[in-house]
Structure 1
Amino acid sequence: MDERQVGGLNFQIDFSQPLYEQILDQFRSSIAKGEIDLGEKIPSVRELAQVLKINPNTVMRAYQELERDGLTEKRRGQGTFVTTSQEKVRQFRHQLAQEYIDAFIQHMENLGYTWADIEAYMKNKR
């Protein structure tokens, strides 16, 4: 695992995993948690690729996905910015939470737990 800083953002890169997914996940998580402010400019594709020492096409792919998610927007001649829509971020955060919950439940069911077992387990964890 390699950690690199670009501006105020820290990226943890594991070169044994798909890089575009790591960049995408780290941006999504940072935006959802509010670590990157609404309307904040994010590093250019070239800048991020140079610092992370990866192909710019890899960064471009992650940025395109962020734009499709509605989490970023390009401003002609200015760069890429986090959306200014708090509602889009809230919706994305809710969607992400639902995906995590669904994955957790699926993993627990794959281990043979019933819904009652999962509920009991969660109550005892708190």
Structure 2
Amino acid sequence: MIILDYQDRRPIYEQITERFRTLIYQGALPAGSRLPSVRQLAMELSINPNTIQRAYMTLEQEGLIYPVKGKGNFVAETSLIQEKSKEDFRKDFKGLIKKGIQTGITEEEMLSMVRKNCEEEQR
């Protein structure tokens, strides 16, 4: 489920946070599903439990998960969060398009870049 890249410059907790965020947004972890316990995931990844706790705390602050005392952490209802995330992406993307046009990049070049990057990400 979680694979760490030790060559990545980002802290491990950020990698874990990003991976869970992706799994939640893609629906691989549906609302109400239970996340692995801090201790269990720390043992699986052979890292300090505090690192997992920090990642879970970040996800909780983002509203993606919620804790249940004595039961663990669960995925929150994320449909509203997903829509907000998509809207933020649209705004960022629109800004990039504007910058590309100002730089002299043609529509066809932009579309080609988008296709190429989508293909690379889906591999």
Runs of at least 5 residues in structure 1 that lack an aligned partner in the other structure: 1-9
- One-letter amino acid matched to 1:117: I
CA deviation profile, 1:63-83 (whole Å, cap 9, x unmatched): 000000000000111110000
Overall identity of the aligned pairs, in %: 34
- Structure 2 gaps of 5+ residues are 116-123
Moved over 6 A (4+): none
User: Number of aligned pairs?
Assistant: 111
- What is the distance in 1 between the residues matched to 2:106 and 2:17? 30
1:13 partnered with 2:4:
yes
Q: Which one of 22, 28, 36 corresponds to residue 29 of structure 1?
A: 22
Distance in 1 (alpha carbons) for counterparts of 2:91 and 2:4: 23
* TM-score where L is the length of structure 1: 0.72
Question: Which is strand-richer, 1 or 2?
Answer: 1
Rounded Cα–Cα distance in structure 2 between residues aligned with 1:99 and 1:11? 29
Distance (whole Å) between structure 2 residues aligned to residue 118 and residue 64 of structure 1: 43
The alpha-carbon deviation at position 116 of structure 1 amounts to 5.0
Q: Give, as a single letter, the amino acid of the residue that structure 1 aligns with 2:76.
A: T
Query: Kindly tell me: are residues 71 and 102 of structure 1, through their superposed partners in 2, closer, same or farther at Cα, counting changes over 3 Å?
Result: farther
